[in-house]
Amino acid sequence: MKFSVSKEPLYAKVKKVILEMIDAGELGEGNQLPTEKVLSEKFNVSRATIRSALQSLEDDNIIRKQQGVGTFLTPQNQEVKMRIDKVKGFYHLICDTGHEPSIREEGIYKAPVDKKISKQLNLPGTTEVLIIKRTLMGDGKPAIHIREYIPLTRLTLSPTVEELPNSIFEISEAFCRQRIEYSISEIFPVTVDASIMEALNLPKRTPILKLEEIHFNRNNEPLIFSEVYVNDNIIRFNVFRTRDRF
C-alpha cells in the first residue's frame, strides 16, 4: 500500500486506513489486531510509524494493548467516536475519526460584544470582537458549525478568510501571538435558528448538541470564546474516563 504525499503526518494516514479497515471488518478478526511487524509489512511503512498510529488509536480508546498478549479492539470500536478531552482543533478531530475534513468559510467580521460573551471573557461591554463563522465538513457533509469570538484587543494582526488556519489554536498563535493552554467546555442540547440549521443541512427545530468553549492562555486568562454546533448524525462524542492512580 502506498500513501500520497501531503502535510498530514504519515502515522495519521495509516491510522485512518486502520480505522476504515476496522469499520469494514477487514482488521480485528477475533477483536485482535495483527502485530506491529505484520502491520508494518502490510502498509509498507516503518514500525515506528505503526507504533505512532497504534498509540493514537489507544489514546482515542479504539484499541487497548495487553502486555505480552497483543492489541485488541475496545468494545465501542464498531462506532468510531470523537474524543473531546484532547486539546485539538475540531478539524483535526474530524480527521482522527476517519472522515476526510474540509472547511466551508462563511464569514469574518467585527461586531460589538454581547453581554454573555463579555461576561465569559471578562470584557468591558464596549469591546468589539472579531467573529469567525465556518462549517467543518466530514467527507463533504456538514459536521460542525463554529462561531469564534476574538476580542479585537487580543489581536496583534487582523486575519482575512484566506489566511485563516484550520483550528482556533493555530489562529490564536498566528494572530493573537498567544498559545491556548487549555479550554473549558459546556455541552448541552439546543434547538437553534434557521441559519445554523441551513449550515448543517438539517431540518428546522432539529435538536443538536452545542458546545460553549472558553479558551485560556498560560496565565489562566480567557482569550477566545467559541460556539460549536454539532451534527451528531455524522459526529458522536466519546469521553474516555480513567481512575486516579495512587
228-245 pLDDT tens trace = 999 877 776 666 555 555
224 and 168 in a common domain: yes
The residue among 79 and 154 whose pLDDT is bigger is 154
Structure confidence at residue 74 (pLDDT)? 76
4 in a structural domain: no
Q: Which CATH number do you get for residue 148? A: 3.40.1410.10
**Residue the block writes with cell 470564546:** 225
Chain segment 167-180, per-residue pLDDT in tens: 999 999 999 999 99
Question: What number is the average pLDDT over the span 200-214?
Answer: 90
72 and 92 in a common domain: no
134 and 30 in a common domain: no
**Residue the block writes with cell 434557521:** 194
48 and 94 in a common domain: no
**Percent of residues in the chain assigned helix, strand, coil, to nearest 5:** 30, 30, 40
244 in a structural domain: no
57 and 96 in a common domain: no
179 and 143 in a common domain: yes
Using a cut of 0.85, tell me whether the model's pTM lies above it: no
141 and 36 in a common domain: no
52 and 98 in a common domain: no
Distance between CA 151 and CA 130 in Å, rounded?
6
**What's the total number of domains in the chain?**
2
Average pLDDT of the chain, as a whole number: 85
121 and 36 in a common domain: no
Distance between CA 62 and CA 82 in Å, rounded?
10
Tell which of 46, 78, 110 closes a domain. Answer: 78
Distance between CA 37 and CA 39 in Å, rounded?
6
Distance between CA 57 and CA 162 in Å, rounded?
33
Q: Which CATH number do you get for residue 69? A: 1.10.10.10
Residue 39 belongs to domain spanning: 10-78
